[in-house]
Amino acid sequence: MSRDIAAVWDVELSDGVYRIEFEHGTTTGKRVIYINGKEVIRRDWMFKLVGKETFSVGVMEAKATIFIEAISGFAYEYCLNINGKNYQKFMDNRSKVSKSWTLKLDGRDYRIVLEKDTMDVWCNGQQMETVGEFADDGTKTLFVVANHDCCIKATSSGRKRNGIIHVLLVDGDRVPEVMH
């Protein structure tokens, strides 16, 4: 069965990256929303072709809304809001309040996310048990992934504008940060 996908967004949350696909039948009014390929909403034969669809994403159930607007004739524009912010603003804010790293350990892929405001650490969608320690130059957040010792070091950049620098070490080796 072919899908007529009108819009696609990749949303980065603490517990993972979610691909949101929106199918819009402009003759039937059909609306289908898929998250990571799984259908979460289906509305067939919608009389109104414009409007909005609201649903939740991820373990923390972030509130998502797709707005459907006619721009001219039979052309439509689709906008995604996450937790009340438009998609771009939400993603820009995510890069300020969280830090992400991806790495391979023992042949498996891992995505580690630090929530800077709460110091919560997530790995592949699971919130990790962590231990916090003070260090001479800042703090350390310690946890274990697949029997590997992990440490997120938080140190001052020395410049107010840059704030605190977070570095992930796995078995003592620095892991490069994922750039958004």
Domain spanning 5-83 has what CATH number? 2.40.128.180
Residue 2 pLDDT exceeds 60: no
pLDDT band of 177, cuts 50, 70, 90: confident
Predicted confidence at residue 161, as pLDDT, reads 67
Of the candidate ranges 49-58, 71-80, 159-168, the one whose mean pLDDT is the lowest: 159-168
d(CA 145, CA 105): 9
Whole-structure pTM over 0.85, yes or no? no
CA distances, 119 to each of 29, 75, 110, 141, 149 (Å):
44, 44, 18, 8, 17
Name every residue whose Cβ is closer than 8 Å to that of residue 140 and which is 6 or more positions away in sequence: 132, 133, 134, 151, 152, 153, 154
Fold observed for domain 98-175: Lipocalin (2.40.128)
Under DSSP, is residue 97 helix (H, G, I), strand (E, B) or coil? helix
d(CA 19, CA 95): 18
The residue behind tokens 């972030």 is: 62
The residue behind tokens 């919130």 is: 127
| Extents of the domains making up the chain | 5-83, 98-175
